[in-house]
Amino acid sequence: MRLFIRADASTTLGSGHVKRCFAIAERSNLAPADVCFLCLPHDGHLGDDIQARRFQLRWLADNDADSLNAEITPDATLLIDHYAIDERIESQLHANKIVVLDGQATQRHHCNTLVDPSGESDRQRHARSLKATTQLCVGPRYIPLATRFLDAQSRPLRQRLTAVLICFGGTDPSNLTQRIAATLCKHLDLSVTLIAGPQNAHLASLQQFVATAPNCRLDIAPTDLKPHYLAADLAIGAGGVMSWERIAMALPSIVLPIADNQRRQTRALSQQQLIWSCDDLENLEALLNLIKDDPQQLTAQSARCKAIADTIGVPNPWPELIRD
Protein backbone atom coordinates (compact mmCIF):
# COMPACT_ATOMS: atom_id res chain seq x y z
CA MET A 1 0.00 0.00 0.00
CA ARG A 2 0.97 3.66 -0.35
CA LEU A 3 0.90 6.31 2.35
CA PHE A 4 0.80 9.97 1.36
CA ILE A 5 1.52 12.54 4.08
CA ARG A 6 0.41 16.17 3.84
CA ALA A 7 2.48 18.26 6.23
CA ASP A 8 4.58 21.42 6.04
CA ALA A 9 7.60 22.92 7.77
CA SER A 10 8.81 26.50 7.55
CA THR A 11 10.64 29.19 9.47
CA THR A 12 7.28 30.34 10.87
CA LEU A 13 5.45 27.00 11.19
CA GLY A 14 8.46 25.24 12.68
CA SER A 15 9.32 21.61 12.04
CA GLY A 16 7.07 19.77 14.50
CA HIS A 17 4.35 18.61 12.09
CA VAL A 18 6.78 17.02 9.64
CA LYS A 19 8.90 15.47 12.39
CA ARG A 20 5.98 13.80 14.11
CA CYS A 21 4.98 12.43 10.71
CA PHE A 22 8.49 10.95 10.47
CA ALA A 23 7.67 9.01 13.64
CA ILE A 24 4.33 7.82 12.24
CA ALA A 25 5.95 6.75 8.97
CA GLU A 26 8.62 4.84 10.88
CA ARG A 27 6.08 3.05 13.07
CA SER A 28 3.74 2.27 10.16
CA ASN A 29 6.06 -0.61 9.16
CA LEU A 30 6.01 0.54 5.54
CA ALA A 31 9.10 0.65 3.37
CA PRO A 32 10.34 4.25 2.95
CA ALA A 33 9.68 4.02 -0.79
CA ASP A 34 5.97 3.49 -0.03
CA VAL A 35 5.73 6.79 1.89
CA CYS A 36 5.39 10.08 0.02
CA PHE A 37 5.40 13.53 1.63
CA LEU A 38 3.37 16.27 -0.06
CA CYS A 39 4.67 19.70 0.94
CA LEU A 40 4.70 23.35 -0.01
CA PRO A 41 8.22 24.71 -0.69
CA HIS A 42 8.25 27.22 2.17
CA ASP A 43 11.45 28.81 3.45
CA GLY A 44 12.68 26.37 6.07
CA HIS A 45 11.07 23.29 4.48
CA LEU A 46 12.53 19.94 5.51
CA GLY A 47 12.84 18.52 2.01
CA ASP A 48 16.44 17.44 2.50
CA ASP A 49 15.55 15.64 5.75
CA ILE A 50 12.61 13.90 4.08
CA GLN A 51 14.76 12.63 1.24
CA ALA A 52 17.63 11.68 3.55
CA ARG A 53 15.22 9.26 5.22
CA ARG A 54 14.55 7.81 1.74
CA PHE A 55 10.91 8.90 1.69
CA GLN A 56 9.49 10.24 -1.54
CA LEU A 57 8.83 13.98 -1.75
CA ARG A 58 6.58 15.94 -4.06
CA TRP A 59 6.20 19.70 -4.01
CA LEU A 60 2.69 21.12 -4.23
CA ALA A 61 1.75 24.20 -6.21
CA ASP A 62 -0.91 25.26 -3.71
CA ASN A 63 -2.71 24.19 -0.55
CA ASP A 64 -5.91 23.06 -2.23
CA ALA A 65 -7.78 19.89 -3.18
CA ASP A 66 -6.79 20.02 -6.86
CA SER A 67 -3.08 20.07 -6.03
CA LEU A 68 -3.48 17.11 -3.67
CA ASN A 69 -5.67 15.06 -6.00
CA ALA A 70 -3.08 15.48 -8.75
CA GLU A 71 -0.53 13.64 -6.59
CA ILE A 72 -2.39 11.01 -4.56
CA THR A 73 -3.65 7.70 -5.93
CA PRO A 74 -7.27 6.63 -5.28
CA ASP A 75 -6.20 3.41 -3.55
CA ALA A 76 -3.87 5.14 -1.06
CA THR A 77 -4.16 6.38 2.50
CA LEU A 78 -3.66 10.11 3.02
CA LEU A 79 -2.42 11.34 6.40
CA ILE A 80 -3.02 15.06 7.00
CA ASP A 81 -1.19 16.97 9.73
CA HIS A 82 -1.98 20.57 8.88
CA TYR A 83 -4.00 23.25 10.67
CA ALA A 84 -4.80 25.00 7.36
CA ILE A 85 -6.73 21.99 6.04
CA ASP A 86 -10.27 21.20 7.15
CA GLU A 87 -13.47 19.67 5.75
CA ARG A 88 -13.63 22.18 2.88
CA ILE A 89 -10.56 20.58 1.30
CA GLU A 90 -10.91 17.08 2.78
CA SER A 91 -14.41 16.56 1.32
CA GLN A 92 -12.99 16.98 -2.20
CA LEU A 93 -10.13 14.51 -1.87
CA HIS A 94 -10.05 11.18 -3.72
CA ALA A 95 -7.95 9.08 -1.35
CA ASN A 96 -9.18 5.65 -0.31
CA LYS A 97 -8.74 6.58 3.36
CA ILE A 98 -8.11 9.92 5.07
CA VAL A 99 -6.50 10.09 8.52
CA VAL A 100 -6.29 13.53 10.15
CA LEU A 101 -4.10 14.58 13.08
CA ASP A 102 -5.71 17.38 15.09
CA GLY A 103 -5.32 18.04 18.79
CA GLN A 104 -7.12 21.40 18.74
CA ALA A 105 -10.74 20.41 18.04
CA THR A 106 -11.43 23.86 16.60
CA GLN A 107 -12.11 22.82 12.98
CA ARG A 108 -14.59 20.47 11.33
CA HIS A 109 -13.14 17.49 9.48
CA HIS A 110 -14.29 15.14 6.75
CA CYS A 111 -12.18 12.03 7.27
CA ASN A 112 -12.28 8.32 8.04
CA THR A 113 -10.17 8.62 11.17
CA LEU A 114 -9.23 11.54 13.39
CA VAL A 115 -6.27 11.14 15.74
CA ASP A 116 -5.72 13.53 18.64
CA PRO A 117 -1.91 13.48 19.02
CA SER A 118 -1.91 15.61 22.19
CA GLY A 119 -2.28 12.67 24.57
CA GLU A 120 -5.58 13.92 25.96
CA SER A 121 -8.36 11.36 26.47
CA ASP A 122 -11.33 13.75 26.27
CA ARG A 123 -13.48 12.48 23.39
CA GLN A 124 -16.33 14.93 23.96
CA ARG A 125 -14.43 18.03 22.83
CA HIS A 126 -14.15 16.54 19.31
CA ALA A 127 -17.85 15.66 19.05
CA ARG A 128 -18.85 18.72 17.01
CA SER A 129 -15.87 18.44 14.65
CA LEU A 130 -16.60 15.07 13.06
CA LYS A 131 -19.02 13.06 10.98
CA ALA A 132 -20.90 10.36 12.88
CA THR A 133 -18.99 7.68 10.96
CA THR A 134 -15.51 9.02 11.77
CA GLN A 135 -13.30 6.85 13.95
CA LEU A 136 -11.92 8.97 16.83
CA CYS A 137 -8.61 7.98 18.43
CA VAL A 138 -7.57 9.73 21.65
CA GLY A 139 -5.23 9.05 24.55
CA PRO A 140 -1.52 8.38 25.15
CA ARG A 141 -1.44 5.41 22.77
CA TYR A 142 -1.77 7.81 19.82
CA ILE A 143 1.08 10.16 20.71
CA PRO A 144 3.35 10.00 17.64
CA LEU A 145 6.76 9.24 19.14
CA ALA A 146 9.64 7.54 17.36
CA THR A 147 10.49 4.06 18.59
CA ARG A 148 13.82 5.15 20.08
CA PHE A 149 11.99 7.20 22.73
CA LEU A 150 9.91 4.23 23.88
CA ASP A 151 12.76 2.13 25.29
CA ALA A 152 12.01 1.34 28.94
CA GLN A 153 15.75 1.06 29.67
CA SER A 154 16.27 4.73 28.71
CA ARG A 155 14.53 6.30 31.68
CA PRO A 156 17.06 7.20 34.37
CA LEU A 157 15.56 8.74 37.50
CA ARG A 158 17.01 12.23 37.89
CA GLN A 159 18.37 12.87 41.39
CA ARG A 160 20.09 16.27 41.22
CA LEU A 161 20.42 19.23 38.90
CA THR A 162 23.78 19.51 37.15
CA ALA A 163 22.99 19.43 33.40
CA VAL A 164 20.35 21.47 31.55
CA LEU A 165 19.20 21.05 27.95
CA ILE A 166 17.62 23.98 26.06
CA CYS A 167 15.69 23.16 22.89
CA PHE A 168 12.97 25.15 21.14
CA GLY A 169 12.68 23.16 17.95
CA GLY A 170 14.01 23.76 14.50
CA THR A 171 13.53 27.52 14.08
CA ASP A 172 13.07 29.42 17.39
CA PRO A 173 12.23 32.79 15.77
CA SER A 174 12.18 34.62 19.14
CA ASN A 175 15.65 33.30 20.03
CA LEU A 176 14.41 31.96 23.35
CA THR A 177 17.36 29.56 23.34
CA GLN A 178 19.91 32.34 23.76
CA ARG A 179 17.76 34.46 26.05
CA ILE A 180 17.35 31.56 28.46
CA ALA A 181 20.99 30.52 28.17
CA ALA A 182 22.00 34.05 29.14
CA THR A 183 20.23 33.46 32.46
CA LEU A 184 21.60 29.97 32.99
CA CYS A 185 25.22 30.80 32.14
CA LYS A 186 25.43 32.70 35.44
CA HIS A 187 24.94 29.38 37.24
CA LEU A 188 28.48 28.09 36.80
CA ASP A 189 27.62 24.86 38.62
CA LEU A 190 25.36 23.91 35.70
CA SER A 191 26.40 22.43 32.37
CA VAL A 192 24.12 23.87 29.68
CA THR A 193 23.58 22.40 26.20
CA LEU A 194 21.84 24.47 23.53
CA ILE A 195 20.17 22.80 20.54
CA ALA A 196 19.53 24.73 17.33
CA GLY A 197 18.10 23.64 14.01
CA PRO A 198 19.72 24.49 10.67
CA GLN A 199 16.85 26.90 9.90
CA ASN A 200 17.49 28.90 13.07
CA ALA A 201 18.04 32.52 12.02
CA HIS A 202 20.15 33.20 15.12
CA LEU A 203 22.93 30.64 14.59
CA ALA A 204 25.73 33.22 14.32
CA SER A 205 24.59 34.94 17.51
CA LEU A 206 24.33 31.61 19.34
CA GLN A 207 27.84 30.64 18.25
CA GLN A 208 29.23 33.96 19.49
CA PHE A 209 27.38 33.52 22.78
CA VAL A 210 28.72 30.04 23.60
CA ALA A 211 32.25 31.20 22.74
CA THR A 212 32.10 33.47 25.80
CA ALA A 213 30.05 31.22 28.12
CA PRO A 214 32.35 28.51 29.54
CA ASN A 215 29.52 26.33 30.87
CA CYS A 216 27.48 26.38 27.64
CA ARG A 217 27.86 24.41 24.42
CA LEU A 218 25.90 24.43 21.17
CA ASP A 219 24.86 21.45 19.05
CA ILE A 220 23.48 22.39 15.63
CA ALA A 221 21.01 20.01 13.95
CA PRO A 222 21.74 16.82 15.90
CA THR A 223 20.41 13.74 14.14
CA ASP A 224 18.97 12.36 17.38
CA LEU A 225 17.91 14.15 20.57
CA LYS A 226 17.87 10.97 22.64
CA PRO A 227 21.54 11.19 23.78
CA HIS A 228 20.91 14.78 24.88
CA TYR A 229 17.80 13.73 26.81
CA LEU A 230 19.77 10.98 28.55
CA ALA A 231 22.58 13.35 29.52
CA ALA A 232 20.31 16.06 30.96
CA ASP A 233 18.76 16.41 34.40
CA LEU A 234 16.34 19.13 33.26
CA ALA A 235 15.11 20.31 29.88
CA ILE A 236 13.79 23.77 29.03
CA GLY A 237 11.90 24.00 25.79
CA ALA A 238 8.75 24.21 23.73
CA GLY A 239 5.59 22.15 24.02
CA GLY A 240 4.08 19.84 21.45
CA VAL A 241 5.49 16.40 20.72
CA MET A 242 8.81 17.31 22.37
CA SER A 243 7.00 17.47 25.72
CA TRP A 244 6.05 13.81 25.30
CA GLU A 245 9.55 12.84 24.14
CA ARG A 246 10.92 14.22 27.39
CA ILE A 247 8.20 12.57 29.48
CA ALA A 248 8.88 9.24 27.78
CA MET A 249 12.54 9.61 28.79
CA ALA A 250 11.58 10.51 32.41
CA LEU A 251 13.28 13.88 31.88
CA PRO A 252 11.83 16.73 33.98
CA SER A 253 11.16 19.86 31.99
CA ILE A 254 10.16 23.50 32.11
CA VAL A 255 7.90 24.21 29.14
CA LEU A 256 7.35 27.60 27.53
CA PRO A 257 4.59 27.20 24.92
CA ILE A 258 5.67 29.03 21.77
CA ALA A 259 2.37 28.72 19.86
CA ASP A 260 -1.29 28.86 20.74
CA ASN A 261 -1.70 25.20 19.78
CA GLN A 262 0.72 24.24 22.58
CA ARG A 263 -1.00 26.08 25.42
CA ARG A 264 -3.82 23.64 26.16
CA GLN A 265 -1.46 20.65 26.22
CA THR A 266 1.07 22.50 28.38
CA ARG A 267 -1.62 23.46 30.87
CA ALA A 268 -2.90 19.87 31.07
CA LEU A 269 0.57 18.36 31.57
CA SER A 270 1.35 20.94 34.24
CA GLN A 271 -1.84 20.06 36.11
CA GLN A 272 -0.71 16.41 36.07
CA GLN A 273 2.67 17.56 37.46
CA LEU A 274 4.50 15.99 34.53
CA ILE A 275 6.12 19.32 33.59
CA TRP A 276 6.57 22.81 34.99
CA SER A 277 4.85 25.46 32.89
CA CYS A 278 6.40 28.91 32.56
CA ASP A 279 4.71 31.63 30.53
CA ASP A 280 7.12 34.43 31.43
CA LEU A 281 10.90 34.48 31.16
CA GLU A 282 11.01 36.73 34.23
CA ASN A 283 9.74 33.81 36.31
CA LEU A 284 12.18 31.27 34.88
CA GLU A 285 15.14 31.96 37.16
CA ALA A 286 12.97 31.82 40.28
CA LEU A 287 11.62 28.44 39.16
CA LEU A 288 15.12 27.21 38.38
CA ASN A 289 16.36 28.26 41.83
CA LEU A 290 13.40 26.49 43.43
CA ILE A 291 14.37 23.25 41.68
CA LYS A 292 18.05 23.66 42.56
CA ASP A 293 17.25 24.28 46.22
CA ASP A 294 14.93 21.28 46.44
CA PRO A 295 16.16 18.52 44.10
CA GLN A 296 13.46 16.21 45.47
CA GLN A 297 11.07 18.10 43.20
CA LEU A 298 13.22 17.05 40.25
CA THR A 299 13.22 13.42 41.36
CA ALA A 300 9.47 13.43 42.01
CA GLN A 301 8.66 14.76 38.54
CA SER A 302 11.05 12.30 36.93
CA ALA A 303 9.32 9.46 38.81
CA ARG A 304 5.86 10.62 37.68
CA CYS A 305 7.04 10.68 34.06
CA LYS A 306 8.61 7.26 34.42
CA ALA A 307 5.37 5.87 35.87
CA ILE A 308 3.28 6.77 32.79
CA ALA A 309 5.94 6.27 30.12
CA ASP A 310 4.84 2.71 29.34
CA THR A 311 1.41 4.00 28.22
CA ILE A 312 2.84 6.30 25.54
CA GLY A 313 2.53 5.06 21.97
CA VAL A 314 1.82 1.42 22.87
CA PRO A 315 0.57 -0.86 21.57
CA ASN A 316 1.62 0.55 18.22
CA PRO A 317 -1.60 1.81 16.53
CA TRP A 318 -0.18 3.11 13.26
CA PRO A 319 -0.07 0.01 11.01
CA GLU A 320 -3.77 -0.56 11.65
CA LEU A 321 -4.77 3.10 11.37
CA ILE A 322 -3.24 3.62 7.95
CA ARG A 323 -4.27 0.27 6.53
CA ASP A 324 -7.00 0.30 3.87
Of the pLDDT bands very low, low, confident and very high (cuts 50, 70, 90), residue 35 is: very high
Domain ranges of the chain: 3-144, 149-310
Is the pLDDT assigned to residue 97 strictly greater than 90?
Answer: yes
Q: How much is the mean pLDDT over the chain?
A: 94
Listing from the earlier edge strand, what are the strands of the sheet with 77-80? 56-59, 35-39, 3-6, 77-80, 97-101, 113-115, 135-137
Of the pLDDT bands very low, low, confident and very high (cuts 50, 70, 90), residue 120 is: confident
Average pLDDT over residues 82-91: 97
Encode pLDDT of 265-306 as tens digits. 999 999 999 999 998 888 999 999 999 999 999 999 999 999
Encode pLDDT of 1-16 as tens digits. 899 999 999 988 889 9
Asked if the domains 3-144 and 149-310 are classified in one and the same CATH topology, the answer is yes
Is the pLDDT assigned to residue 154 strictly greater than 80?
Answer: no
Of the pLDDT bands very low, low, confident and very high (cuts 50, 70, 90), residue 162 is: very high
Percent of the chain residues past pLDDT 70, beyond the cut: 100
Of the pLDDT bands very low, low, confident and very high (cuts 50, 70, 90), residue 140 is: very high
Give the global pTM.
Answer: 0.93
The predicted structure's pLDDT at residue 199: 84
Of the pLDDT bands very low, low, confident and very high (cuts 50, 70, 90), residue 163 is: very high
The predicted structure's pLDDT at residue 258: 87
- Which CATH number is associated with domain 149-310? 3.40.50.2000
Average pLDDT over residues 217-242: 96
Average pLDDT over residues 67-81: 97
Of the pLDDT bands very low, low, confident and very high (cuts 50, 70, 90), residue 63 is: very high
Is the pLDDT assigned to residue 45 strictly greater than 80?
Answer: yes
CATH fit for domain 3-144, picks 1.10.10.10, 3.30.1640.10, 3.40.50.11190, 3.40.30.10? 3.40.50.11190
The predicted structure's pLDDT at residue 153: 76
Percent of the chain residues past pLDDT 90, beyond the cut: 83
Is the pLDDT assigned to residue 55 strictly greater than 90?
Answer: yes
The predicted structure's pLDDT at residue 168: 94
